[in-house]
Structure 1
Amino acid sequence: MGILAALEFKAKVLEVYGNSALVVHQLRDEWETRDSKLIPYHSYIKNLIEQFEEITFHHIPREENQLADALATLSSMFKISQGKDVPLIRIQNRGQPAYCKAIEEEPDGKPWFYDIKCYLKDREYPPGASENDKKTLRRLAMSFFLDGEVLYKRNHDMVLLRCVDAKEAMEIMIRDP
């Protein structure tokens, strides 16, 4: 959609930013497009690309592209009729996110990842867990990795994120402001 809009505005030089590493690498011809369902789309975009004097593709992980994610969510909330004005959306930057350095309380004294860690360590389910709860816990645990007593969550790029409780999070924030 963005490439078509750029062509409509007669752009000759374009920088494209996308959150799909697969698509970006395929369009750069660094990776082969093998999925038969994606090949027609790949060919279509390649034909559009030829209409630019210069076009570059950049990968931006979704977590670093929060503004685009928010705009996509907002755009899905508006129904726009042909010939009508589009509502104006004002965007202001507050400088620092509101959630910065927020640590949630642990009302039961256990960190949010306690059940996942117990399951990975000893294959134990929480007391009173239903079959559905057990199934959900098994599914959640698949994206975590336990190294001794340290629990890590794998993100979509396979980077391991260390899970910490509220006490350790507070210590980290004091140590690394």
Structure 2
Amino acid sequence: MALDMDIHELLVIGDSDLLIHQVQGEWATKNAKVLPYVTLAQSLCKKFKKIEFNHMPRAQNKFADALATTKSMIQHPERSHIDPLEISLRAEHSYYSHVEAEPDVKPWYNDIKLYLENGEYLDNTTRNQRKTILRMANGFS
């Protein structure tokens, strides 16, 4: 992904000190199952102008810990195959893409203003919405 984004300098933070040292060529790779991954990582490293590796224990890396926890909760029918995890980066916040209804021309604070001015709610306001409006209105009075 970093190569696709035309990134030339990269900081890699990993929770496996062993793997970091193997990719950097400091330690030998004895496990035959890991060797293709180490070789691939080493070839990818050559495509960057600068690449730095830092070890961070999983206990200090909440994202890696969350991925490991999620992995342990998923039962896959074939233990030898793991589906890739796809992470998409969005150009805007997710609430920009989620629209439930046509927007009205009134400002976001219209319900609070109506309550402050008249002590009234709109007709279709739910009980939870009334509680929220009341709570927010208390900050203005």
Q: Whose Rg is larger? A: 2
TM-score normalised per structure 1: 0.38
- TM-score (structure 2 length as normaliser): 0.47
Q: Larger relative CO (CA 8 A, sep 6+): 1 or 2?
A: 2
